C-alpha cells in the first residue's frame, strides 16, 4: 500500500467572490478562482481544509519565481492572514487569468 503524502482535495466549487463555477484542476488541489483569483481561507496546510476561518481571501499582489512561476499573495479579508499560492495559469481546464496575474505583478501604480 502506498500512502499519499500530499493530500489532494480537488473538487469543483462556486467562487464566493464572482459566483462562477470552478472545475477541478486535475493534477493538484485548486485553491483559488481562475477568473478573479480569489480564494477562501479553508486550509492550514495545502489541501487539508482544516481552517475554520472560511474568510474570503483576495489577491493582494503577484510575485514571479524563476522556478515556480507566478505566486499569488492572498490576504484573508476576515483574519488578515497572508498566504502564498502558486498560480495555475498553465492548467488545461480554466487556467488562471494571465492578464490579471500580470496586472497584479505590476502593482497598483
Q: Which residues bind Zn ion (CB under 5 A)?
A: 15, 17-18, 33, 35-36, 38, 41, 53, 55, 76, 78-79, 81
Rg (CA), the chain: 14
CA angle 15, 5, 13 (to 5 degrees): 10
Computed from CA positions of residues 37, 9, 50, 86, in that sequence, does the dihedral angle turn out positive or negative?
negative
Tell me if 76 sits within 8 A of 53, measured CB to CB.
Answer: yes
Residue that is written with C-alpha cell 492550514 in the block: 44
Nearest CB to Zn ion, comparing residues 58 and 71: 58
Kindly state the smallest distance separating residue 9's Cβ from Zn ion, in Å.
Answer: 18
Kindly state the smallest distance separating residue 38's Cβ from Zn ion, in Å.
Answer: 5
Nearest CB to Zn ion, comparing residues 82 and 102: 82
Kindly state the smallest distance separating residue 36's Cβ from Zn ion, in Å.
Answer: 3
Nearest CB to Zn ion, comparing residues 44 and 65: 44
Kindly state the smallest distance separating residue 95's Cβ from Zn ion, in Å.
Answer: 14
Residue that is written with C-alpha cell 505566486 in the block: 71
Amino acid at each position: 500500500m502506498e500512502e499519499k503524502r500530499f493530500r489532494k482535495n480537488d473538487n469543483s466549487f462556486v467562487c464566493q467572490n464572482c459566483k462562477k463555477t470552478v472545475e477541478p484542476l486535475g493534477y493538484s488541489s485548486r485553491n483559488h478562482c481562475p477568473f478573479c483569483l480569489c480564494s477562501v481561507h479553508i486550509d492550514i496546510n495545502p489541501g487539508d481544509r482544516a481552517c475554520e476561518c472560511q474568510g474570503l481571501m483576495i489577491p493582494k499582489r503577484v510575485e514571479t519565481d524563476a522556478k515556480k512561476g507566478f505566486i499569488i499573495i492572498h490576504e484573508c479579508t476576515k483574519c488578515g492572514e497572508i498566504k502564498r499560492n502558486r498560480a495555475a495559469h498553465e492548467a488545461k481546464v480554466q487556467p488562471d487569468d494571465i492578464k490579471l496575474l500580470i496586472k497584479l505583478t505590476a502593482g497598483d501604480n
